């Protein structure tokens, strides 16, 4: 009969893995590879890089941690459950449960870990800070001020992080709004058409990058 050389318990009292009782074995050979995780967090908009830049949602972070915590290779049928338990300025704390089998003995192993936050500006905020814009919304016509109010209202509801205003330039009969996204400019243009504005879209070539033309889009809206 096996007797655990570490704690003295025997095979009849507790399950064994190899020469040790399960508990001692797991203490000596933690079945989860110990490492500190790091996640990029944009200090400007708060989004996190979880494979791509995403809204800082706890369920997305939890999934990301489960993918990055690794069971050691001797665990068969590993399954890891993660719960984020705390967040502060510099890190997230989480708890996890690993279930699986080692050497024919089933196990359930509880562990804890930390995800350090690494501050890094996301590409959208970096562009925004650099004065970048993709589109110009040109609001014109007798009722341009009404258009302007509606456009701003739409923009504040927009969830796309590129829906930012880089600059506003007053013009003789209206205003130009420099926008971070062509897609958003067109979407807003279509909305304004529904309230009777006319829309014209044109492009100018700004530069070329890797042989591809980079254009700026002009969305001219007119409401008389």
Residue placing its CB nearer to Zn ion in the complex, 44 or 72: 44
- Tell me the C-alpha distance between 139 and 173, whole Å: 8
CB of 125 to Zn ion, least distance (A): 3
Among 69, 102, 107, 125, which residue sits at the site for Zn ion (rule: CB under 5 A)?
125
User: What SS3 state is found at 114?
Assistant: strand
Among 122, 147, 197, 220, which residue sits at the site for Zn ion (rule: CB under 5 A)?
122
**Residue 107 binding Zn ion, by CB under 5 A:** no
Residue placing its CB nearer to Zn ion in the complex, 44 or 62: 44
* Of the candidates 161, 215, 213, the residue with the CA atom closest to the CA atom of residue 184: 161
CB of 67 to Zn ion, least distance (A): 23
Q: If binding means CB under 5 A, how many residues of this protein chain bind Zn ion?
A: 10
The answer to whether 110 and 144 are in contact (CB under 8 A) is no
CB of 8 to Zn ion, least distance (A): 7
CB of 11 to Zn ion, least distance (A): 11
CB atoms under 10 Å from CB of 140, counted, come to 20
Within the chain, strands assigned E span 16-17, 20-21, 37-41, 48-49, 53-54, 76-87, 91-102, 105-119, 135-140, 165-171, 174-179, 198-209, 212-222
CB of 68 to Zn ion, least distance (A): 22
CB of 179 to Zn ion, least distance (A): 17
Provide the mask over 6-45, with x wherever binding to Zn ion is found by CB under 5 A and - wherever it is not. Answer: xx-------------x--x-----------------x-xx
Contacts of 33 (CB under 8 A, 6+ apart): 69, 70, 71, 72
Helix (H) or strand (E) holding 144: helix 144-157
Which residues from 40-69 bind Zn ion, rule CB under 5 A?
A: 42, 44-45
Residue placing its CB nearer to Zn ion in the complex, 119 or 200: 119
Q: Which residues bind Zn ion (CB under 5 A)?
A: 4, 6-7, 21, 24, 42, 44-45, 122, 125
């Amino acid at each position: 009969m096996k007797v655990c050389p570490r704690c003295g318990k025997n095979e009849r009292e507790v399950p064994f893995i190899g020469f040790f009782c399960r508990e001692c074995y797991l203490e000596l050979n933690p079945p989860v590879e110990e490492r500190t995780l790091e996640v990029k967090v944009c200090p400007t908009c708060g989004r996190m890089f979880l494979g791509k830049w995403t809204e800082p949602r706890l369920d997305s972070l939890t999934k990301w941690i489960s993918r990055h915590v690794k069971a050691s290779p001797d665990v068969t049928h590993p399954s890891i459950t993660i719960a984020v338990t705390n967040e502060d300025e510099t890190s997230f704390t989480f708890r996890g449960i690993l279930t699986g089998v080692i050497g024919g003995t089933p196990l359930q192993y509880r562990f804890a870990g930390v995800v350090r936050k690494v501050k890094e500006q996301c590409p959208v905020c970096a562009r925004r800070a650099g004065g970048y814009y993709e589109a110009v919304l040109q609001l014109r016509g007798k009722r341009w001020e009404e258009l302007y109010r509606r456009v701003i209202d739409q923009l504040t509801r927009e969830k796309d992080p590129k829906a930012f205003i880089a600059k506003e330039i007053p013009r003789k009969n209206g205003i130009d709004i420099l926008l971070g996204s062509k897609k958003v400019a067109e979407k807003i243009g279509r909305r304004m058409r529904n309230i009777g504005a006319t829309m014209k879209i044109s492009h100018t070539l700004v530069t070329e990058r890797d042989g591809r033309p980079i254009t700026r889009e002009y969305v001219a809206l007119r409401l008389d």
